[in-house]
Structure 1
Amino acid sequence: MLSTLSTVATIVVVALIAREFGSERRGQILAAICAAVSGFVLGVGHLVSTATYDLLAWMLIGLFAVKLLRTGDGRWWLALGVTAGIAVENKYLVVLPIGALFVSLLIVGPRGVLRSWWLLAGVAVAGLIALPNILWQFQHDWPQLKVAGGISEDDGTENRIMFVPLQILQLSPFLVPVWIAGFRRIWRELPWARAVALAYPVLCVIVLAAGGKSYYALPLLLVLVAAGCEPTLRWIGRHRVVAVVGLTLTALTSAVFTLPVLPASAADFVIPVNKEQGEQIGWPAFAASVADAWERIPLGERSTATLFTGNYGEAGALVRYGPPHGLPSPYSAHMSFWDWARPPDTNTGPVLLVELERTPIFESYFRGCEQVGTIDSIVANDEDGTALVLCSAPAEAWSTLWPKVRQFY
């Protein structure tokens, strides 16, 4: 429900951005429709994820930035600061659009908005709101930055190769003419907003250099979509049937690629574009397979045995679906699942490892490891082929072992 409400708010903000660009009611409605049927908005809108709320924050930042440039009223820096500070509590990615906007303002102006005392006030407000998060990150050796580094190191090359195709596919190929029209309109007709248009290619360069995920730049495309609705309306006046067909196809393709509407047997078709589709399938069967492997542990040893998963998704699935199979609470050293609980030192018995792939270095932390099963998922998701490895015991006490096995990606 919270994700749905956040997404509805995002769609409304896109319409408000269109209004700031001079669109009348029809243009605002078209902007809302384009946002509502876009693949990215549908994709993050039906899941609870940091990206869901990050998207709303980016749209608010876009709205306040356009208001700032249109009016020249520096007080909008305060609104930007409040939004950025709250957004940092959710995800640090919010610094990217703001950084891209600063670079764009330095290149094309108007630089006058950067000489306002309100800018310093906005920075101070953002810092004050974000301070508890930043202090926690500092005290815990910046785990969020370690996650970002892991993404760049492990997936950076693939992210760079797929960046341009996914910019087109993840929002919708049918919306490409709209956001191109938006960029052209800003550059030719709205010179005061050129920094907003330039911020998108600047952000793309930053994400490519860092090896970040393609969706990091997608929210700014929605700002360009909002700007492109006026020229699109003029085009629709001459091509109504084509426009209706285009929006219908946008809605249908976005739903197919982002919502769980396909049968599981057909999900492999959309997983290359939207990996999350595969992560919504097969968890009950996954838990049943883990339970079969757990049954290999003698009854007398289960009270001191440990169920240890390779990632938080698997751990979450076993929390949800494991109890009916008699499985104990799982542990995982992945991301923040590591913080929530670690096995007690009294767990000196067998350890069932749920590994995406067998890793000798990781298994060296345990004794007598032997694969006793494999997850055979019905789709090509991360869990397909996961190894179930039964070890006789941890190599040392869990309190000593726990800091060594933590994974940030």
Structure 2
Amino acid sequence: MERPGVGFATRPVIGVAAVLAVVLTVLSGRYGFHRDELYFLAAADHLAWGYIDQPPLTPLLVRLSTAVFGETPMGVRVISTLTSAATVVVVALIAREFSADRRAQLLAAVCAAVSGFLLGVGHLASTATYDLLAWMVIFLLAVRLLRTGNPRWWVALGLATGIALQNKYLVVLPLAALLIAVLITGPRSVLRTWWLPAGVALAALIAAPNLIWQATHDWPQLTVAGGISEDDGTENRVMFIPLQILQLSPFLVPIWVAGFRRLWRTQWARPVALAYPVLCAVVLALGGKSYYALPLLLVLLAAGAQPTIDWLTTTGRRVALASGLVLAGLTSVVFTLPVLPASAVNVVLPVNKEQGEQLGWPELTSAVADAWRQLPDDQRARAVILTTNYGQAGALLQYGPAHGLPKPYSNHMSFHDWSRPSDMQDGPVLLVEQERDPAFENHFTNCTQVGKVDNGIDADNEEQGTATVLCTGTKTPWSQLWPTLRRHY
């Protein structure tokens, strides 16, 4: 079987990872919290073995990061920055498994570091950030299993998979794709061993606490996933192929195509190549988001590093490669990191809407405070602020105390479970609605819009134009109303 190349290019690869970490750190304090980070901050105050929409690992890491580095955009992102730097190193290790020499390992690390996907998830504290590192580690171990034929690697795979499942269930998709690819192309011998069920058992044991939580709560993540597919499935399918190219970088396409061709021509590595189109087919069928398949392109980039170096040696076109990497880095930085003035963010939103979701939360809080002050003083003790999504609720928790606002409530995701108004809070209800919904407002009495959110820079994000709607009360007591308001997605 094919052996890995020369020793690992430790210093240059770590140098690339360090540069990435510096760039992410310098820019981590620009703009503000992302809506998901606001949600994770709230979840970090309600640590549990599971949540409506996710396992527990990301809120736990957010809790650790903010406890050490402070509850600021920069503080919440420190572990994410380190995770992304580690991902660069693992991509280079994968390249080494494909017999890449030191130059090719360095190229693989650079390609990962300048890719839009890694920069984008590395800038934020998100499940995708830690999921990407988990996928890379799992495929490093899987490639080593296929290359060596040593079945003991199933135990390490089980360990990595179990930890990954505590962050996101999405990891089952690439594993399923790889299994299908092995069944089609071989080597099937790696499946005929008791080490495989041992690895599966270990993964299940590590993931058990969250699986039990999900089972005892009627598997809410399945409801969430089904809602995402129903709401966004068509758009996700239409944009899948363009975003596969754009979200990694168009300038890196030749390298990962070369990687696919190389793996397909190598018997033991062929299932790694086939896993990518299989995964794409699965994601398209499920109506999942395009980034669900992007991590495997980093594996193909790792495989394509050595053919690219060989091509350079033959043609001497170093300037072409360097230019492509520089362009990849510049475009990725512009579209995924907060380098533009906040007022110019609309330029990048068609490709990366997450940039806009880091803006406008203080302004939303101010708008809610303006609406709250319209209530007579003697009614505020019994009044309720009810937000319709977790980003709004997280923002009011973060910024509301400075405006004298009470704790908000929300019917969205796990906020619905963390707290609900008491029946004693039978006064006015201030609704914060991304879009006014007559069916939702029908649960309340005499609803009138009293304000609208304006982020002040015309950033076309989801919260721009959010309505603040003041109602005189509820039609039924909160104890009866609350169960009917739950929103999973």
Give the TM-score range, shorter chain: over 0.9
1-side partners of 2:256 and 2:110: how far apart? 14
Please name the residue that 1:362 is paired with.
440
State the TM-score, normalizing by the size of structure 2: 0.82
Q: Could you tell me how far 1:94 is from its partner in structure 2?
A: 0.6
1:28 matched to 2:108: no
Who is 1:323 aligned against?
A: 401
Match of 1:208 among 284, 287, 290: 284
Mark the runs of 5 or more structure 1 residues left unpaired by the alignment. none
For residues 199 and 329 of structure 1, the distance between their equivalents in structure 2, rounded to whole angstroms, comes to: 47
Instruction: Quote the offset at 1:310 in angstroms.
Output: 1.2
Q: CA deviation at 1:325?
A: 1.4
Kindly tell me the number of residue pairs found equivalent between the two proteins.
Answer: 408
Counterpart in 2 of 1:343? 421
Which residue number in structure 2 is paired with residue 168 of structure 1?
Answer: 245
| 1:239-294 deviation line (CA, Å, top 9, x unaligned) | 11111111111111111111111112211111111111000111111111111111
The answer to whether the aligner puts 1:278 opposite 2:356 as a matched pair is yes
Shift of 1:339: 2.2
Deviation at 1:120, TM superposition (A): 0.6
Residue from 196, 211, 214 that aligns with 1:119: 196
Equivalent-residue separation in structure 1 for 2:310 and 2:452 (angstroms) = 57
CA contact (8 A) 2:134 2:160 kept: yes
Distance 2:474 2:191 in 1: 57
Match runs of 1:41-52 below 5 Å: 41-52=118-129
1:301 pairs with one of 379, 384, 395: 379
Residue 194 of structure 1 and its aligned partner are, at CA, apart by 0.6
Separation in 1, partners of 2:425, 2:262: 65
In the alignment, structure 2 segments of 5+ residues that lack a partner are 1-77
One-letter amino acid of the structure 2 residue matched with residue 301 of structure 1: Q
Of 299, 306, 330, the residue aligned with 1:223 is 299
Superposition deviation, residue 343 in structure 1: 1.8
> d(CA) in 2 for partners of 1:298 and 1:213?
46
C-alpha deviation, 1:327, in angstroms = 1.2
Helix, strand or coil at the partner of 2:423: coil
Checking the alignment, whether the CA contact within 8 Å between 2:92 and 2:108 is kept in structure 1 is yes
Structure 1 CA distance, aligned partners of 2:482 and 2:154?
Answer: 44
**Aligned-pair Cα RMSD in Å:** 1.0
List, as ranges, runs of 4+ consecutive aligned residues in structure 1 with deviation greater than 4 Å: none
DSSP-derived class of the 1:145 partner: helix
**1:232-251 matched pairs, under 5 angstroms:** 232-237=308-313, 238-251=316-329
Specify the SS of the correspondent of 1:116. Answer: coil
Aligned counterparts of 1:359 and 1:149: Cα–Cα separation in 2: 22
- Does residue 407 of the first structure (1) align with residue 484 of the second (2)? no
| 1:272 alignment partner, SS class | coil
Q: CA deviation at 1:376?
A: 2.5
Equivalent position amino acid for 1:330 in 2: P
1:3-82 → structure 2 map (5 Å cutoff) = 3-82=80-159
Shift, 1:47, TM fit: 0.7
SS in structure 1 opposite 2:431?
strand
Q: Aligned partners of 1:44 and 1:343: how far apart in 2?
A: 35
CA separation in 2, counterparts of 1:339 and 1:399?
13
Offset of residue 364 of structure 1: 1.7
- Kindly state the Cα deviation for residue 37 of structure 1 after the two structures are TM-superposed: 1.0
TM-score by length of 1: 0.98
- Fraction of identical pairs, as percent: 67
d(CA) in 1 for partners of 2:357, 2:463: 8
Q: Which residue is equivalent to 2:49?
A: none
Secondary structure of the residue that 1:127 maps to in structure 2?
helix
Letter in structure 2 aligned against 1:358: R
Partner SS state of residue 118, structure 2: helix
Structure 1 distance, partners of 2:476, 2:166, is 36
